[in-house]
Amino acid sequence: MKIFKNKIQFRALKERIKDYDIKRIVIITGAGISAESGINTFRDNNGLWDNHSVYEVARPEAIELTPEIFFKFQNERAIDMKNKVPNKAHKKLSKLEEKYHVNIITQNIDNLHEKAGSNNIIHIHGTNSEYKCTHCTNKGIYQDNIYGEECLECNKGLLRPNVVLFKEQVYDLYPSLDMIEKADLFIQIGTSGTVYPVAGFPEYTKALKINISLKEPDNEHYFDFNFKGKATKLVSELIEILLKK
Ligand code: OAD
């Protein structure tokens, strides 16, 4: 039934974009796009938030209250992600740049879009390929188990991942909104659409909106087309249509 519905929708999409001028594409990605590369999502069954306490591993207070648990989790995750490789969905997305102006705004802290060859990427929730100091402006490329070490620049802070913890400000919000406003096509892939501000981004554009995910996202109502299934398969089909247009 799901496959059947996707087929009908792809046909409708082809019709819809036949005479539709597409120059600028904004792509929002979430944990679902990296799931088939072996990186756990957050809110699916057995996801990260089923097995870890947000309070201990994802809040700024955890650095003081439960530092051992926080840094162990963050180091293990960064080492694990470093060794992952992009899947077909990441790779196909990078091909879109041959024909369109593409901006990717990812909530993911992995670097699989970079590894797949995409160029214009905003990590709105940061990236764990970088560390930063909790006290001074020292920042750098992650090396195994560096989180939790004392900062050698100021000797006051600790090195933590350059990611957005709960309650912290997202990165590059205004450049993101600017891109979204100018987009002709807005594609959201593999997110539950629950975490703001990203979940509200579709509101800031008049672009045609397409969603791809395994389950309906909470912000489903914004979208003109909703495809249900795995990113590797559906993203590939979508990109083929856009490249042939
Ligand atoms: P979630 O775990 O909330 O949602 C991932 C979504 O991906 C799910 O709703 C699934 O439907 C979908 N999915 C899973 N496997 C898929 C596949 N193979 N193909 C397509 N879709 C698939 O992850 P996010 O929405 O990315 O923030 O989470 C948003 C933010 O919440 C994260 O960036 C993180 C977290 O708290 C911070 O840490 C600041």
pLDDT 10s digits, 60-93? 999 999 999 999 999 999 999 999 999 999 999 9
**179 plus 239 within the same structural domain:** yes
Q: Is the CB of 87 under 6 A from ligand 1?
A: no
**55 plus 69 within the same structural domain:** yes
**115 plus 224 within the same structural domain:** yes
**154 plus 107 within the same structural domain:** no
Last residue of a domain, one of 163, 181, 216: 163
Unique residue bearing structure tokens 């670097």: 111
Output the pTM of the full model.
Answer: 0.96
**203 plus 216 within the same structural domain:** yes
Of 240, 245, 211, 235, the closest CA to residue 225 belongs to 211
Q: What is the DSSP letter of 150?
A: B
**154 plus 230 within the same structural domain:** no
Which of 50, 167, 191, when mutated, tests ligand 1's pocket best, judged by the most ligand atoms within 8 Å of its CB? 191
**66 plus 178 within the same structural domain:** no
22 near 100, Cβ under 8 Å?
yes
Last residue of a domain, one of 142, 163, 184: 163
107 near 125, Cβ under 8 Å?
yes
**68 plus 94 within the same structural domain:** no
Both structure tokens of 89? 């969905």
Ligand 1 centroid to Cα of residue 150, in Å, is: 32
Query: 93-111, pLDDT tens digit by residue?
Result: 999 999 999 999 999 999 9
Longest Cα pair distance anywhere in the chain, in angstroms?
Answer: 61
Q: Is the CB of 103 under 6 A from ligand 1?
A: no
Q: If DSSP codes are grouped into helix, strand and coil, which group holds residue 44? A: coil
**184 plus 237 within the same structural domain:** yes
Nearest CA to ligand 1 atom 23: 31
**70 plus 98 within the same structural domain:** no
Say how many C-beta atoms besides its own lie within 10 A of residue 180's C-beta. Answer: 20
**217 plus 229 within the same structural domain:** yes
**93 plus 193 within the same structural domain:** yes
Q: Is the CB of 42 under 6 A from ligand 1?
A: yes
Give the domain CATH number at 29: 3.40.50.1220
Which of 213, 219, 235, when mutated, tests ligand 1's pocket best, judged by the most ligand atoms within 8 Å of its CB? 213
Q: How many CA atoms lie within 13 A of 54 on its CB side?
A: 9
- Counting the structural domains of the chain, the total is 2
Query: 46-62, pLDDT tens digit by residue?
Result: 888 888 898 899 999 99
- Domain of residue 51 covers 45-82+134-163
Sort strands 159-163 and 139-141 into parallel, antiparallel or unpaired.
unpaired
Active site residue ranges: 125
Mention every residue, 6+ apart, whose C-beta is less than 8 A from residue 170. 124, 125, 164, 197, 198
Q: Is residue 239's pLDDT more than 70?
A: yes
